[in-house]
């Protein structure tokens, strides 16, 4: 099979972003905060200033800024590059504990950014309460103010449902990198979160590059691997001559470092002029500019155009021991790796229709088995091509649902809860239809005690159903009035098989008095369990089919207990009330 042609849309994405009003409204809000800040504040070490701009029929913008003196103090001062771990945050400032996931349990954040955020916690908390549900909402910031904007947006996202299509958008200008690989992975794990961040970085601005490795991107396998700090979200890398976005943030980080421009000291860059220049330019390059890249793959051509747009190509030509071909090859490899990873991402919807076909096979088998004792007993005793097909479909379904359960377990708590809710109905039907077939195969092989080795995915699917039932669900208004088509307890037949084994043990004459007492107690407990299920219409009428294992157990149990024994179940069965059970 031919491999699909790959290409990059980094220039098109950058064009869309620059052509929209998002960047201009955001930067205008930042400039307003600067203008409304006194000259004394701009030269002082004030930490963070912020202001809310409510625009009727447009987005509400919350802008965070810091003074140049504050920026230098926090970024270049002693410990300016330090990170604070999630373990320390949990003890001292647990606001961001929700970021941890089962797959990515630990992360670190820039200590100075967290310190500034914590020092304004009361005010920022009020902002969250007042504007957290406002839509559309843009949170923006410049320099280390951008770090605070990112943290604030993360905090907002904690309470946003995965199904909510209207989420806050964070746009930063010249913001330093915020955290390590753990933070990057935790955010990438939630695609809806990652898409909420747009970081604009100019090649003239030293601050976005501050925490990246100072080494040449092509001198080692990857610059970004040498950096503790890692990017997340979309990064718009720009110069006065153009701009581009890259699929892989790591490649953008390498380009940021490669495209170093001499800068006198650590100064805050103002993006207004750059944005105006970019908006006026026609970012459309002629084929003649491609040179030797005219006859290569669409992906390599696109990468070359992106590099040219961000002025990296010209910078590379001025540097020694730097090969633009090597850079393009590296970015191409990363892009292909990224595409491969995306294709491997588990998407339950893709296989859903196929799984419906497998479920239809088993439903058909249940219908045709009724006349011969029911699905459970026919599957346990029959040997036929029809059974082989059901075994095949059962295996397909089990592989699918095991993967579904694993993915739900790995997800962050809120995303996992949504995932569970959305797919629980299908998972419950699968469990009630397929697990009895697993039980049939288990006891067909002469084994005992299925429940002791029950698969974890069945346990979790069952537990999630129990967790979803609200308190007080057992009220009369919620009780069934008719029998269900699938027995609610998917382990019902395992309990029947164990009860049959207990009856045989009582009859064999080799069981001691203490064991007999225990077996009799177990059988009474099974009686009560079965009667509760029947009384609440939680058992399928199939259990009362003449050739079913349950009816065979009852016939044997009735003989063991004798006619003098009375219980709710014996009265129900002896009086043949099950004939009207439906």
* Tens-level pLDDT at each residue, the chain (582 residues): 455 666 567 788 888 888 888 999 999 999 999 888 865 565 555 678 999 999 877 899 999 998 888 888 788 777 788 999 999 999 999 999 999 988 889 999 999 999 999 999 999 999 999 999 999 999 999 999 999 999 999 999 998 877 778 899 999 999 999 999 999 999 988 878 999 999 999 988 889 988 876 433 333 343 444 578 999 999 999 887 788 887 677 777 777 777 655 554 556 677 988 888 887 774 444 444 445 545 567 777 777 777 777 765 555 555 545 567 777 787 778 777 776 666 665 566 666 677 889 999 999 999 999 988 899 999 999 988 899 999 999 999 999 999 888 877 776 666 666 667 778 888 999 999 999 999 999 999 999 999 999 999 999 999 988 887 754 444 444 577 889 999 999 999 999 999 999 999 998 877 888 889 999 999 999 999 999 999 999 999 999 999 999 999 999 999 999 999 999 999 999 999 999 997
Residue 473 in any domain: the answer is no
Query: Is 568 part of a structural domain of the chain?
Result: yes
Out of 468, 496, 517, a domain closes at: 468
Q: Which residue has the tokens 């992106």?
A: 306
Q: Check if the beta carbon of residue 234 is closer than 8 Å to that of residue 245.
A: yes
Identify whether residues 139 and 184 lie together within a single domain. yes
Final residue before a domain boundary, out of 265, 283, 301: 283
Give Cβ neighbours of residue 121 (< 8 Å, ≥ 6 apart).
95
pLDDT computed for residue 512 by the predictor? 85
Q: Who contacts 301 (Cβ-Cβ below 8 Å, separation ≥6)?
A: 290, 293, 294
- Residue 526 contacts residue 491 (beta carbons within 8 Å): no
End-to-end Cα separation, the chain, in angstroms: 54
327 domain residue, yes or no: no
> Torsions phi, psi of 406, nearest 5?
-60, -45
Residue whose tokens read 């930067």: 27
Q: What CATH number corresponds to the domain at position 144?
A: 3.40.50.1820
With the CA atoms of 481, 484, 488 and 490 taken in that order, what torsion angle do they form, in degrees rounded to the nearest 10? 160
Question: Which of 468, 498, 523 is where one domain is finished?
Answer: 468
Within a domain: 325: no
Q: Are residues 132 and 208 in the same domain?
A: yes
The continuous run of DSSP H or E covering 137 comes out as strand 137-142
Q: How many CA atoms lie within 13 A of 359 on its CB side?
A: 16
Shared domain check, 368 and 275:
no
For residue 337, tell me if it sits in a domain. no
Q: How many CB atoms are located within 10 Å of the residue 571 CB? A: 11
Q: Is residue 297 part of a domain?
A: no
Quote the crossing angle between the two packed helices 272-280 and 22-35, to the nearest 10°. Answer: 150
What is the rounded distance in angstroms from the CA atom of residue 497 to the CA atom of residue 481? 28
Same domain, 450 and 549: no
Task: Give me the residue label for tokens 């947006």.
Answer: 153
- CA neighbor of 515 nearest in space, from 524, 527, 502, 526: 502
Dist. CA 173–CA 207, nearest whole Å: 10
Residue 456 inside a domain? The answer is yes
- Which among 317, 441, 452, 453 has a CA at the least distance from the CA of 376? 441
Supply the pLDDT for residue 209: 87
pLDDT at 286: 44
pLDDT (0 to 100) of residue 6: 62
Distance CA 141, CA 150 (A): 8
- The predicted pLDDT at position 267 comes to 64
Helix (H) or strand (E) holding 110: strand 108-110
Nearest to residue 128, comparing CAs of 163, 100, 153, 147?
153
Which residue shows structure tokens 């940021």?
256
Do 251 and 114 lie in a common domain?
A: yes
Q: How far apart are CA 63 and CA 32, in angstroms?
A: 9
Q: Is 4 exposed, middle or buried (0-12, 13-18, 19+ CB in 10 A)?
A: exposed
Q: Are residues 70 and 143 in the same domain?
A: yes
CA–CA gap between residue 64 and residue 46 (Å, rounded) = 12
548 in Cβ contact with 374 (< 8 Å): yes
DSSP three-state, residue 324:
helix
Structural domain total, the chain: 3
Q: Is 476 exposed, middle or buried (0-12, 13-18, 19+ CB in 10 A)?
A: exposed
Q: Are residues 458 and 541 in the same domain?
A: no
3 state SS of 173: strand
Residues 230 and 110 both lie in one domain = yes
Parallel, antiparallel, or unpaired: how do β-strands 83-85 and 108-110 relate? antiparallel
Query: Which of 484, 493, 367, 354 is CA-nearest to residue 429?
Result: 484
124 and 269 co-located in one domain: yes
Question: Domain residues for 139?
Answer: 10-283
Q: Which residues pair with 198 in a beta bridge?
A: 171, 234
Is residue 52 within 8 A of residue 29, CB to CB? The reply is no
Beta-strand relationship, 49-53 and 242-245: unpaired
Phi and psi at 138, nearest 5°, equal: -115, 125
Question: Which phi and psi (to 5°) does residue 479 adopt?
Answer: -80, 150
My answer on whether 257 and 354 are in the same domain is no
Asked if 491 and 448 sit in the same domain, the reply is no
As given in the structure block, the two tokens for residue 507 are 């009859």
C-alpha 504 chain-centroid distance: 50
How many whole angstroms separate alpha carbon 274 and alpha carbon 91? 43
249 domain residue, yes or no: yes
Residues 198 and 223 in one domain: yes
Report CA-CA distances (Å) from 186 to 43, 86, 98, 552.
Answer: 37, 12, 10, 55
Q: For residues 40 and 34, is the Cβ–Cβ distance under 8 A?
A: no
Give the whole-angstrom CA distance, residue 402 versus residue 348. Answer: 12
């Amino acid at each position: 099979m031919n491999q699909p042609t790959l290409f990059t849309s980094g220039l098109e994405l950058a064009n869309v972003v620059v052509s929209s009003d998002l960047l201009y409204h955001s930067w205008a809000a930042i400039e307003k905060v600067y203008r409304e800040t006194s000259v004394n504040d701009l030269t002082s070490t004030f930490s963070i200033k912020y202001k809310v701009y409510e625009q009727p029929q447009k987005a509400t913008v919350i802008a965070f800024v810091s003074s140049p003196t504050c920026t230098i103090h926090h970024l270049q001062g002693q410990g300016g590059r330090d990170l604070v771990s999630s373990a320390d945050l949990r003890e001292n400032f647990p606001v961001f504990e929700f970021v941890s996931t089962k797959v990515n349990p630990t992360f670190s954040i820039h200590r100075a950014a967290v310190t500034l955020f914590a020092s304004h916690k009361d005010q920022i908390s009020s902002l969250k309460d007042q504007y957290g549900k406002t839509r559309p909402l843009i949170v923006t910031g410049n320099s280390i103010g951008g770090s605070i904007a990112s943290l604030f947006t993360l905090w907002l996202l904690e309470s946003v449902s995965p199904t909510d299509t209207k989420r806050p958008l964070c746009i930063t200008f010249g913001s330093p990198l915020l955290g390590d690989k753990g933070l990057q992975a935790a955010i990438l794990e939630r695609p809806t979160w990652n898409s909420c961040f747009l970081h604009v970085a100019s090649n003239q601005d030293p601050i976005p590059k501050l925490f990246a490795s100072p080494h040449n991107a092509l001198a080692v396998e990857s610059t970004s691997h040498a950096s503790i700090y890692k990017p997340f979200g979309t990064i718009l890398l720009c110069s006065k001559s153009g701009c581009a976005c890259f699929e892989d943030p790591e490649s953008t980080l390498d380009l940021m470092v490669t495209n170093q421009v001499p800068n006198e000291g650590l100064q805050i860059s103002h993006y207004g002029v750059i944005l105006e220049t970019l908006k006026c330019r026609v970012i459309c390059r002629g084929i003649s500019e491609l040179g030797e890249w005219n006859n290569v793959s669409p992906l390599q051509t696109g990468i070359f155009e992106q590099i040219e747009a961000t002025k990296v190509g010209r910078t590379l030509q001025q540097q020694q021991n730097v090969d633009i071909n090597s850079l393009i090859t590296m970015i191409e490899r990363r892009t292909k790796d990224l595409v491969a990873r995306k294709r491997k991402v588990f998407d339950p919807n893709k296989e859903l229709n196929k799984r419906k076909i497998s479920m239809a096979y088993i439903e058909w088998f249940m219908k045709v088995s009724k006349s011969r004792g029911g699905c459970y007993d026919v599957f346990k005793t029959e040997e036929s091509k029809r059974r082989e097909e059901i075994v095949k479909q059962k295996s397909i379904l089990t592989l699918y649902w095991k993967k579904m359960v694993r993915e739900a377990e790995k997800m962050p708590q809120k995303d996992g809860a949504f995932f569970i809710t959305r797919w629980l109905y299908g998972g419950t039907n699968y469990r009630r239809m397929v697990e009895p077939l697993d039980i049939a195969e288990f006891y067909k092989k002469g084994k005992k005690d299925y429940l002791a080795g029950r698969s974890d995915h069945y346990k979790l699917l069952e537990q999630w159903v129990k967790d979803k039932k609200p308190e007080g669900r057992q009220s009369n208004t919620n009780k069934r009035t008719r029998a269900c088509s699938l027995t609610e307890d998917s382990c019902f037949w395992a309990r029947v098989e164990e009860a049959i084994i207990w009856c045989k043990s009582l009859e064999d004459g080799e069981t001691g008095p203490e064991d007999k007492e225990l077996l009799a107690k177990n059988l009474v407990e099974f009686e009560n369990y079965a009667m509760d299920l029947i009384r609440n219409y939680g058992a399928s009428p199939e259990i009362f089919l003449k050739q079913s294992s349950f009816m065979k157990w009852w016939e044997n149990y009735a003989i063991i207990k004798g006619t003098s024994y009375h219980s709710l179940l014996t009265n129900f069965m002896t009086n043949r009330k099950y004939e009207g059970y439906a």
